[in-house]
Structure formats: C-alpha cells, structure tokens
C-alpha cells in the first residue's frame, strides 16, 4: 500500500481540484485522505456522506478553578503569553492566548489550575460518490492544524486501505512549510507538486521542495495555468530538470476548472480536453510508483 501526497507551497494553484480529479479517476482503487484541514474543500467535490465522526483533541489549555484560587497572582506573573487577565476580580484564562505550556499549573500553590486537552475539531470518515472512502477533518475556529491531526487522518485512511486491500492512499497535503506538511510527507512513496508559472508560484515551489528533497521522496510536478507566463514557465522547467523532478503535465489556463468546481464536479468529468491531460498525469504517476 502506497501513499501518494499532493502538495503546493502556494494557495490557489488548483491542488485540490487536481487531487479530486485523481480520486475520481482512481475510483474504488484507493482511499482518499484530506490533510489540508485549514482549508478543507475537497469534500465539496466528493459528495461525502459524513458517515462517522469523532472529536479530536490536541494541545492543552489551562483552566482555573475559582473555588480553589487564592488570588496570589503567581500564574499571571509566570505566564509569558499574557493569557491570564483579571476579569471581575478573578484570574481567568484567555483561550485564544493560552499556549498550553502548563507552567501556571505547575507553580500554583493550591493546585487550582488544571491543564486539559483541547477539543480542536473532529475527524470524519465518509463514503464518497466514487465508491471509495475518504477520511477528512474539520477544525474549530482559531484551532491550529498539527502534525498530530494530519497523522490521525492519514492513519485512519491507511488502516482502511489495509483492511479493504486497497493499493494506495491519495493525500491532499497541508499547505506551508511547517509541522503539518512534514507530517503529510512522512511516509510518502511519491509527491505531486502542483504549481503555476507566476513569480510567487515558483518562489513557493522552491521553498516547499526543500522539504521534499530532505526526505528523499520521489517527486513529480504539474504546472497548472502553464501558458500564463512563458519566462516563468521556462524557469520552472529548468528548476524541475535540475532537481530531477518529473514533469507530469502542463495544463493550460482555463476557466473550466472553476466551472467544474462550481458545479460540484471534478475537471475530468467536466471537460474532455483537460480531462485527458489530468488522466495522463495520473497514468504516469501509477507507472512511476508501480500501482
């Protein structure tokens, strides 16, 4: 069972549209995992049934028991995040500021402070309209994605893949360069980098590739909106060949991407021409990872 992870440093390159298209082509062969939990949009194209869901806890938050508090103010003194203001004469933890370091609880003389795990959202298991299963997540407002949540989503997806004897897990990876994307990449057999030939697209592609390279994961690249700028397209291709990244496809700039999404469809269902290009790149990926 192999993990194929789709990432892009920059937002708006079409990563999710392309991942959803792969999911559509592969149908029941694979299990889908949406690890882009900050902007979890893939379900909008996949028609999930939200079959099962479970609360997810991550990080800690301090809580002050007012009955036990003797108002000595030590907690406020040691808190480096200004997270314990006095409201109506009581020391209260501000949940948006508290980092959950636990220092206050450790020094409280009356043990009035407890640190408890924070409910940050839920993870879901859905049947989707391709006949496959999809694991995804929903974060609460202000909650942060973490390596832990990404690992949870991927682990659930992998467990189902093993159980149902599927050959691959297709992962819509997290954005950025932090812990969640590291967790998305760990365990990947192949990474698909989605980019666009814009100065910011190339800039962010290079930044995220440093991570992929460090892990020594084989990578391929899809250049979306490829005809937007010839110069940057050229620079992107030079970068790909220097780094030995397989060019999987060049997709022309086309509003049909948005049209398909607006109609709740993947682009392979919506437009034959674009569909061919995307299917072609999926075939290449299958060949490379020997699916």
**In the beta sheet, which residues pair with residue 61?**
116
* Of 68-76, 128-136, 188-196, 236-244: span binding other proteins (CB under 8 A): 188-196
| C-beta closer to other proteins: residue 49 or 66 | 49
Map the footprint of other proteins across residues 134-163, applying CB under 8 A: 139, 141-148, 151-152, 155
Q: How far is the CB of 67 from other proteins (least distance, A)?
A: 25
Cα four-point dihedral sign 86, 87, 90, 91: negative
The correct pick among 69, 72, 92, 177 for binding other proteins (CB under 8 A) is 177
C-alpha 180/C-alpha 21 separation (Å) is 23
Q: How far is the CB of 58 from other proteins (least distance, A)?
A: 5
What Å distances lie between residue 31 and 121, 180, 291, CA to CA? 22, 20, 13
Q: Is residue 182 part of the contact set for other proteins (CB under 8 A)?
A: yes
The correct pick among 72, 92, 101, 291 for binding other proteins (CB under 8 A) is 101
C-alpha 270/C-alpha 15 separation (Å) is 17
Map the footprint of other proteins across residues 29-58, applying CB under 8 A: 38-39, 41, 44, 58
- The candidate with the shortest Cα–Cα distance to 207, out of 222, 190, 189, 193, is 193
Q: How far is the CB of 205 from other proteins (least distance, A)?
A: 11
C-alpha 145/C-alpha 123 separation (Å) is 12
- 159 CB contacts (<8 Å, ≥6 apart)? none
The correct pick among 205, 225, 250, 267 for binding other proteins (CB under 8 A) is 225
The correct pick among 90, 210, 234, 238 for binding other proteins (CB under 8 A) is 210
Q: Is residue 119 part of the contact set for other proteins (CB under 8 A)?
A: no
The answer to whether 150 touches 134, Cβ cutoff 8 Å, is no
* Of 47-55, 67-75, 129-137, 214-222: span binding other proteins (CB under 8 A): 214-222
Contact code string over 227-266 relative to other proteins, x by CB under 8 A: -xx-xx--------------------x-x--xx-xx-x--
| C-beta closer to other proteins: residue 11 or 127 | 11
Q: Is residue 99 part of the contact set for other proteins (CB under 8 A)?
A: yes
The answer to whether 25 touches 89, Cβ cutoff 8 Å, is no
Other beta carbons within 10 Å of 253: 13
Q: How far is the CB of 238 from other proteins (least distance, A)?
A: 17
Q: E-assigned strands of the chain?
A: 2-7, 30-34, 52-64, 86-87, 90-91, 113-127, 133-139, 168-172, 190-195, 219-223, 246-250
Map the footprint of other proteins across residues 71-90, applying CB under 8 A: 78, 80-81
Q: How far is the CB of 216 from other proteins (least distance, A)?
A: 6
The residue count for binding other proteins (CB under 8 A) is 77
């Amino acid at each position: 069972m192999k993990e194929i992870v789709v990432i892009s440093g920059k937002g708006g390159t079409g990563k999710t549209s392309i991942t959803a298209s792969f999911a559509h082509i592969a149908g029941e062969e694979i299990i889908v995992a949406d690890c882009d939990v900050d902007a979890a949009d893939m379900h909008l194209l996949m028609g999930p049934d939200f079959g099962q869901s479970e609360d997810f806890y991550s990080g800690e938050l301090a809580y002050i028991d007012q009955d036990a508090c003797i108002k000595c103010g030590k907690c406020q003194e040691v808190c480096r995040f200004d997270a314990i203001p006095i409201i109506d004469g009581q020391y209260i933890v501000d949940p948006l500021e508290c980092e959950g370091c636990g220092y206050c609880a450790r020094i409280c003389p009356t043990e009035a402070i407890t640190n408890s795990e924070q409910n940050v959202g839920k993870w879901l298991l859905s049947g989707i309209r391709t006949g496959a299963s999809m694991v995804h997540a929903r974060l609460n407002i202000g909650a942060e994605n973490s390596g832990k949540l990404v690992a949870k989503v991927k682990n659930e997806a992998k467990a189902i893949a093993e159980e149902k004897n599927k050959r691959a897990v297709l992962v819509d990876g997290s954005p950025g360069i932090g812990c969640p994307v590291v967790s998305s990449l760990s365990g990947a057999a192949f990474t698909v980098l989605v980019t666009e030939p814009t100065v910011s697209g190339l800039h962010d592609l290079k930044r995220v590739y440093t991570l992929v390279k460090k892990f020594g994961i084989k990578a391929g690249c899809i250049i979306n909106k490829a005809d937007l700028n010839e110069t940057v397209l050229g620079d992107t291709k030079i970068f790909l060949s220097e780094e030995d990244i397989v060019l999987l496809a060049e997709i022309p700039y086309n509003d049909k991407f948005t049209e398909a999404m607006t109609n709740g469809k993947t682009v392979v269902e919506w437009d034959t021409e674009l569909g061919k290009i995307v299917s072609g790149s999926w075939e290449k990926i299958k060949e490379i990872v020997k699916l």
